[in-house]
């Protein structure tokens, strides 16, 4: 488990973090390529944009986000997770993530392509 | 259908008629004819106007003149004799009319007479029961009180209802003439006869002899008679009309010349009644019989068989030398025939393709010719003249098309013009006008002279009054072709139920979305 602190980047009116999430309790967990357990409905990082704040902070594709600023992310809907990450009055988000070993992550990303 | 409800006549004469099997057409018909009865005669629903109906050789022509006498019987020629008489077909056709006319008249008049007599007897019986005491011993009769007079009204109305019901059920023009008696009608007639006789017997012994004074009792007796007659009428409805409504058998009807097949679902009927139903449906379901279309396949078959008919008639016990030579010759011929057979299917294929192409070409020309024409007439004409004006321009194309599809004998110039006038009157498009020429319709569509309705023969191994059973096969033979009918029982359908909980119909829509933050 790892704690990652991301500083949001201001782009015009938006604050962007530079990654994409997938998953949620209202989503179909069997389609999640990153999860080991296909019933896991947690929030996973599906993409990390190159050079963005997330990559700089050390977030990698395939990480499962457990907490965001203290808010639990294991039992939320997709939209709730998005909202927790994109609060307008926060400039910094502190994530608690879990990562499988690097090899698995690489293998999985290779399998995806 | 034959109406057998003979009250008095039938049960007495039926025994005789059944005994005399081969009496000859007329006498047997006459015996049968007595079984018809007006008030209870079963007239099945007419399908066509009487002239067009008669199956199994009777009635139709005479039907009209005696219709008002409520006769519904169909006395038909005996199957056997009509079969024999088909041996010389032309003579049959000419003479059958004469035969029918004379025989039918006798039969029908007898039938009608018997029916009327029986009907009158049945209807007048209650009235007689009521009136006789007044005539025979009026002085001793106790006065009729209020209740008794009420019963008079009841008798009157019940008789009226009975009259209407009998009229509705039995006074219909017959739709077919059957070869044998209609068993249910015979039974009903016998029943009614016995019933009325027993009432008369009772009345004669207990009331007339003893000159009973209790008039109310007599009136009640008459009312009970009328009630029972109404119930017998109910029985008649159930037996004659309702029982065969539920489909029980599926009949497969195939025409012997070109294999056109139809299936019908019928209830529990006797073979002759099923034959009637089938023939009625034949005229509307089967495409018209076109002998011109059969000649092509026949010539092909003839060529085919000519080469193949080489069999060694001599048995294997013949001396070997001759058999040996014959065998080698026949083998050579068979080989040659086989080679020819190989090429004959080729011929068939090309011939059919060519024919198809020709038909399509002619059809296209015809459609174009007619469509061009239909736009024309400007000045006001009546449809007949308009038809005559339009007709010549597309007559040629139409004639050629009919000749190619071998339908030219089905349509005469006159009929084409009539049809054209008809479609102009009814604002039909050219396509609608052409429809009757482009597709072969059922026999109903063509003129009535095409209907060989009088010349059907029922050929069956089982007795024609016996009911249909699974596997019954019978033939309906006409002059040119025959219809082969096979019966199959509709299987018992066992339905099972499966309950689906409505809650199980809720579904969750699962997506996999990706949001970038």
Which chain A residues have a beta carbon less than 8 Å from that of B515? Answer: 20-22, 78, 82
Across the interface, which of B510, B511, B514 has its CB nearest the CB of A46? B514
Q: Which residues contact A28 (CB under 8 A, 6 or more apart)?
A: B510, B511, B512
Asked if A20 lies within 8 A of B512 by C-beta distance, the reply is no
Residue B438 is predicted with a pLDDT of 83
Is pLDDT of B209 > 60?
yes
CA distance A37 to A40: 6
Tokens 């006869």 correspond to B193
Complex ipTM more than 0.90, yes or no? no
Work out the pLDDT band at B254, boundaries 50, 70, 90.
Answer: very high
Kindly state whether A31 is in contact with chain B, defined as any CB-CB distance less than 8 angstroms: yes
Q: What is the mean pLDDT of residues B182-193?
A: 85
Q: What does chain B come to in residues?
A: 517
pLDDT band at residue B157, thresholds of 50, 70 and 90?
very high
Inform me whether the pLDDT recorded for B38 exceeds 80: no
Cβ contact, residue pair B510, A27, below 8 Å: yes
Do A20 and B511 make contact, defined as CB atoms within 8 angstroms? no
CB of A86 less than 8 A from some CB of B: yes
Determine the distance in angstroms separating the CA of A46 from the nearest CA of chain B, rounded to an integer: 7
Q: How many CB atoms lie within 10 A of CB A66?
A: 17
Residue A32, chain B, CB below 8 Å: the answer is yes
Contacts of B510 in chain A (CB under 8 A): 26-28
Whole-prediction pTM? 0.58
Q: CA nearest A25 in B: which residue?
A: B510
Contacts of A26 in chain B (CB under 8 A): 510-511
Q: What is the mean pLDDT of chain B?
A: 74
CA distance B208 to B434: 75
B262 confidence band (pLDDT: 50, 70, 90) = very high
Residue in the block written with tokens 């393709």: B353
pLDDT category, B135, cuts 50, 70, 90?
A: confident
Are the CB atoms for B107 and B174 separated by under 8 Å? Answer: no
Picking from A26, A31, A86, the nearest residue to B517 by CB comes out as: A86
> Which of the 8 DSSP states describes residue B507?
-
pLDDT at position B196: 92
Q: Which residue is listed with tokens 């357990």?
A: A37
Biggest alpha carbon distance in chain B?
119
Cβ separation of B516 and A20 shorter than 8 Å? yes
DSSP B45: P
Question: Number of A:B CB contacts under 8 A?
Answer: 38
pLDDT per residue, tens digit, chain A (113 aa), is: 788 888 888 887 888 888 888 888 888 888 888 888 888 888 888 889 888 888 888 888 888 888 888 889 889 988 888 888 888 888 888 888 888 765 565 677 787 76
Please check the confidence at residue B29 and state whether its pLDDT lies above 60.
no
CB atoms within 10 A of CB B94: 11
In this predicted model, which residue has the larger pLDDT, B457 or B7? B457
- The DSSP call for residue B439 is S
- Tokens representing B505 are 């119909």
* Residue B475, pLDDT score: 93
Q: Do the chains contact at B516 and A19, CB–CB below 8 Å?
A: yes
Report the pLDDT value the prediction gives residue B58, as an integer from 0 to 100: 38
Nearest to A112 by CA among A40, A41, A61: A61
Does residue B360 surpass a pLDDT of 80?
yes
Contact A28 B512 (CB under 8 A): yes
């Amino acid at each position: 488990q790892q704690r990652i602190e991301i500083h949001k980047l201001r782009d015009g009116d938006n604050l962007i973090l530079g990654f994409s999430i997938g998953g949620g309790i209202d989503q179909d967990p069997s389609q999640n390529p990153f999860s080991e357990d296909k019933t896991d409905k947690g929030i996973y990082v599906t993409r990390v944009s190159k050079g963005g704040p997330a990559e700089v902070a050390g977030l990698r594709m395939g990480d499962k986000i457990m907490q965001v600023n203290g808010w639990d992310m294991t039992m939320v809907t997709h939209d709730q997770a998005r909202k927790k990450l994109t609060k307008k009055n926060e400039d910094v988000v502190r994530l608690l993530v879990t990562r499988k070993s690097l090899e698995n992550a690489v293998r999985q990303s290779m399998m995806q392509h | 259908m034959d109406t057998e409800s003979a009250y008095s006549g039938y049960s007495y004469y039926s025994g005789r008629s059944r005994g005399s099997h081969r009496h000859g057409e007329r006498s047997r018909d006459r015996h049968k004819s007595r079984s018809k009865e007006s008030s209870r005669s079963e007239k099945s629903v007419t399908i066509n106007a009487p002239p067009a109906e008669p199956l199994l050789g009777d009635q139709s022509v005479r039907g009209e003149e005696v219709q008002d006498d409520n006769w519904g019987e169909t006395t038909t020629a005996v199957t056997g004799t009509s079969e024999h008489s088909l041996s010389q077909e032309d003579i049959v056709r000419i003479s059958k009319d004469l035969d029918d006319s004379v025989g039918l008249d006798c039969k029908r008049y007898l039938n009608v007479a018997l029916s009327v007599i029986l009907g009158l007897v049945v209807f007048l019986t209650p009235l007689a029961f009521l009136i006789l005491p007044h005539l025979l011993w009026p002085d001793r009769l106790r006065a009729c009180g209020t209740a008794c007079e009420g019963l008079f009204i009841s008798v009157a109305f019940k008789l009226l209802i009975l009259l209407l019901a009998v009229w509705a059920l039995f006074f219909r023009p017959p739709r077919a003439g059957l070869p044998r008696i209609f068993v249910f009608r015979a039974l009903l007639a016998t029943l009614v006869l016995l019933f009325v006789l027993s009432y008369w017997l009772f009345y004669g012994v207990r009331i007339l002899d003893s000159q009973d004074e209790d008039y109310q009792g007599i009136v009640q007796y008459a009312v009970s008679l009328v009630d029972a007659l109404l119930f017998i009428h109910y029985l008649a409805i159930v037996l004659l009309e309702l029982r065969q409504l539920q489909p029980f058998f599926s009949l497969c009807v195939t025409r012997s010349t070109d294999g056109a097949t139809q299936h019908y679902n019928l209830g529990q009927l006797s073979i002759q009644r099923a034959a009637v139903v089938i023939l009625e449906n034949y005229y509307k379901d089967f495409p018209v019989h076109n002998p011109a279309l059969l000649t092509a396949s026949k010539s092909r078959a003839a060529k085919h068989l000519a080469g193949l008919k080489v069999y060694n008639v001599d048995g294997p016990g013949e001396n070997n030398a001759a058999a040996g030579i014959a065998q080698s010759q026949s083998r050579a011929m068979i080989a040659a025939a086989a080679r020819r057979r190989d090429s004959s299917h080729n011929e068939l294929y090309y011939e059919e393709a060519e024919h198809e192409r020709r038909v399509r070409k002619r059809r296209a020309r015809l459609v174009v010719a007619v469509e061009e024409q239909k736009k024309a007439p400007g000045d006001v004409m009546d449809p007949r003249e308009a038809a005559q004006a339009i007709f010549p321009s597309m007559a040629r194309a139409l004639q050629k098309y009919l000749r190619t599809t071998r339908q030219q004998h089905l349509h005469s110039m006159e009929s084409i013009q009539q049809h054209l006038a008809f479609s102009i009157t009814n604002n039909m498009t050219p396509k609608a006008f052409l429809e009757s020429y482009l597709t072969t319709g059922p026999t109903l569509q063509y003129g009535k002279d095409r209907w060989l309705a009088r010349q059907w023969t029922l050929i069956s191994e089982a007795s024609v009054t016996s009911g249909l059973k699974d596997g019954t096969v019978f033939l309906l033979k006409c002059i040119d072709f025959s219809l082969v009918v096979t019966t199959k029982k509709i299987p018992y359908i066992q339905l099972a139920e499966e309950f689906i909980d409505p809650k199980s119909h809720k579904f969750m829509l699962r997506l996999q979305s990706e949001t970038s933050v």
